[in-house]
Amino acid sequence: MIKVVTSHPVFCGLICCLTALVGCGGGSTSTTGTNTQQASAAPAQDPKLSLTVVLSGLDAPWDLGFAPDGTMFFTEKCRGLSARLTDGTIRRLFGTSGSAVRADDLLCQNQSGMNGVAVDPEFATNRFVYVYMTSTLSAGNTNRVVRLNVDSAVTTVSGRTDIIQDIPFKTNANTWGGVGSHSGGRIRFNAADGFLYVTTGDNHNGTLPQDLTRLAGKVLRVDRNGMAAPGNKTPAGGDTRIFTYGHRNVQGIAFRPSPAMPFSCEHGPGHDDEVTPLVAGGNGGWDPKPETGVTCADNYCGYISNKADGTPTPMTDLGKFPNAMRPSWNNRGMSEGMGPCTFLSGSQWAAWDGRLAVGIMGGQRIDILTLDADGMTIANQTVSGLPVARMRSVVQGLDGALYVLTDGGEIWKLTAG
Ligand SMILES: [Ca+2]
């Protein structure tokens, strides 16, 4: 049962508590008051945030996106795609029983199911919404990107078109995890080029990330029909839908407006998480297969060492791939389950305008990264004062607020200013 918190008086106390100003760290001093001349001359401060719970009681929510009119589309991993209208009405559109359109092929297992959602940049005219989902329609099951047409009243969907059908799914459990592990699953349109970027995972398979004929451990870049976008620069012989390869389990992708640059935010194996500025045809440098003379269970060394010297399998193996894409940021020698990321935009974010917000699941926090022109991180800070939660998705709404979706089943609205 979904609770629309904002209209429920029982939750008033909760909201009142949560909407108290959230501290933001940084030691900033207030610039409000009468001395506006001094305030205007001061350097930009961290924003003051307030938090409102927009939805709670969701079942393993995974991602969200907005239509131009403010309608929020969101996914629940084992239920499907729903919409929250601007008046708070919830409509289940596509998924399990109770949805307007059933997706009987939806397979929810482990990390897989109904994952990412993206709204077409031309939604106002084409009404297209896309989801990343695990499907039983292909032998052995696969992850798919499915395009749907939403009716004008947002009551149902039609015209299901599976624009990508062959993203590998981990079919068999092994030493390192169960069926459905490491499926990736974020999908986002890049406003700079109009193409859809799709992040995938390595399936706990040692060879897939560097295998240019398979779509696992990659970032794909396609048009709204799932066709390879021009300019992917996929190495010769590779699947031309591949934009970058050599990834582990990417669940975050974001696009810096200026200088325009895509970034992956990548869940690490225990000794690293990585943010990486992406270039067409680039290799992320993840190659978890055993090297000569090394033995790893199930031929996957992702959590141990693939090298004779016993050093951990690097997230970016510059020894093996000197031209690999350099990460912009890594997580101080540990993994805390990096998930989603997005760039903050607008003067309401004060000093954070243009910075990258990164959601950490295991670490249960949001970090704010400051990047230089080349996309390298020059500073980072943690958003303090937030409730403890695994941050599964972060999306800036058209209203300028940051919407945060948590594994605890909530969607928050963080309003700056
Ligand atoms: Ca890497």
Q: Mind giving me the DSSP string for 289-322?
A: SPPTT---GGG--TTS--STT-PPPPSS-TTT-T
- 324 Cα–ligand 1 center, Å: 8
Q: What is the pLDDT of residue 186?
A: 98
Mean pLDDT, residues 196-214 taken together: 98
For residue 179, give Cα distances in angstroms to 176, 217, 219, 288.
10, 16, 21, 18
Q: Is the pLDDT of residue 66 over 50?
A: yes
Average pLDDT of the chain, as a whole number: 90
Question: What is the whole-number distance in angstroms between the Cα of residue 101 and the centre of ligand 1?
Answer: 39
Question: How high is the pLDDT of residue 336?
Answer: 87
Please tell me the distance between residue 287's alpha carbon and the centre of ligand 1 in angstroms.
Answer: 9
- DSSP tag of 15: H
Task: Residue 365: name the closest of 343, 340, 344 by CA.
Answer: 340
N- to C-terminal Cα separation, the chain: 33
Tell me the C-alpha to C-alpha distance, in Å, between residue 103 and each of 149, 211, 359: 14, 31, 29
CA of 75 to the centre of ligand 1 (A): 28
CATH of domain 57-416: 2.120.10.30
C-alpha 77 to ligand 1 mean position (Å): 27
What pLDDT band is residue 146 in, cutting at 50, 70 and 90?
Answer: very high
Q: Separation of 358 CA from ligand 1 center, angstroms?
A: 16
Q: How far is the CA of 275 from the centre of ligand 1 (A)?
A: 8
C-alpha of residue 107 to centroid of ligand 1, in Å: 29
Backbone angles phi, psi at 149, to 5 degrees: -105, 120
Q: What is the DSSP letter of 372?
A: -
142: nearest Cα among 185, 79, 100, 90: 185
Q: Look at residue 42 in the predicted model and tell me its pLDDT.
A: 62
Pick from 298, 294, 307: which is nearest to 177 by CA? 298
Both tokens of 225, joined, read 């029909």
**Separation of 245 CA from ligand 1 center, angstroms?**
9
Q: How many angstroms is it from 322 CA to the middle of ligand 1?
A: 12
Pair 148, 119: CB distance under 8 Å: no
Which burial class, exposed, middle or buried, applies to 351 when counting CB atoms under 10 A from its CB (0-12, 13-18, 19+)? middle
- For the cut 60, the answer to whether the pLDDT of residue 37 exceeds it is no
What's the CA gap between 10 and 76, in Å, rounded?
Answer: 25
> What pTM was computed for the model?
0.91
Between the CA of 278 and the centroid of ligand 1 the distance, in Å, is: 10
Angle at CA of residue 244, ends 206 and 161, nearest 5°: 95
Rounded to whole angstroms, the Cα distance separating 94 from 81 reads: 5
Band of pLDDT at residue 270, cut at 50, 70 and 90: confident
What the block records as the tokens of 415 is 């309003």
CB 304 within 8 A of CB 288: no
Partner residues linked to 157 by β-bridges: 150
279's tokens? 């270039």
CA 318 – ligand 1 centroid, Å: 9
Q: How confident is the model at residue 335 (pLDDT cuts 50, 70, 90)?
A: confident
CA of 284 to the centre of ligand 1 (A): 4
pLDDT at position 19 is 36
Phi, psi of 226 (to 5 degrees): 85, 5
Separation of CA 314 and ligand 1 centre (Å)? 8
Residues with CB under 5 A from ligand 1 (ion): 284-285, 315-316
Q: Which pair of tokens denotes residue 380?
A: 């980072």
